[in-house]
Amino acid sequence: MPAPAPAADLRPQIRILFGTVFIAMIGFGIVMPILPFYARAFGASAVEMGLLVTGWAGAQFIAAPVWGVLADRIGRKPVLVAGLAGYGITFVGMALAPTYAALLAARVVGGLLSSSVLPSGQAIAADLTRPEDRGAVMGLMGAAFGLGFVVGPAIGGLAALLGPEVPFYAAAAASGLALPLVARWVREPAVDARQKRAARLGLGGIPASLRSPQRPLYLMSLAATAGGSSLFSMLGYYAIDRVGADPATVGLLFTAVGLGSVLTQVLLVGPATRRWGEARAIEVGFVGSALGFVGIALAASVPGIVAALGLGAVAQALLRPSLVALNSRTTRLGYGTSLGVQTAFDSLGRTLGPLWAGALYGLDPRAPFVGAAVIYLAGAAGGGRLPGRRPEAAPEAIRGPTSER
Rounded Cα gap, residues 69 and 127, in angstroms: 15
Give the DSSP letter of residue 333. S
Question: What Cα–Cα distance (Å) separates residue 234 from each residue in 154, 295, 336, 362?
Answer: 20, 15, 33, 11
Model confidence band, residue 205 (pLDDT cutoffs 50, 70, 90)? low
Model confidence band, residue 296 (pLDDT cutoffs 50, 70, 90)? very high
The mean pLDDT of 221-236, rounded to a whole number, is 84
Rounded Cα gap, residues 388 and 223, in angstroms: 20
CB 174 within 8 A of CB 26: yes
CATH fold for the domain made of 7-386 = Growth Hormone; Chain: A; (1.20.1250)
Q: Give the pLDDT confidence of 263-288 residue by residue, as tens digits.
A: 888 888 888 888 888 889 999 999 99
- Is the pLDDT reported for residue 10 higher than 50? yes
Print the SS3 string covering 267-314.
HCHHHHHHHHCHHHHHHHHHHHHHHHHHHHHHCCCHHHHHHHHHHHHH
CB 278 within 8 A of CB 326: yes
Q: Give the pLDDT confidence of 208-228 residue by residue, as tens digits.
A: 777 788 888 899 999 998 888
- For the ranges 70-74, 144-148, 379-383, the lowest mean pLDDT is seen at 144-148
pTM: 0.76
Sign of the dihedral defined by the CA atoms of residues 172, 174, 177, 181, in that order: negative
**Domain extents in the chain:** 7-386
One-letter amino acid for residue 64 of the chain: A
Phi and psi at residue 268, to the nearest 5°: -110, -30
Query: Quick one: 405 exposed, middle or buried, by C-beta within 10 A (0-12, 13-18, 19+)?
Result: exposed
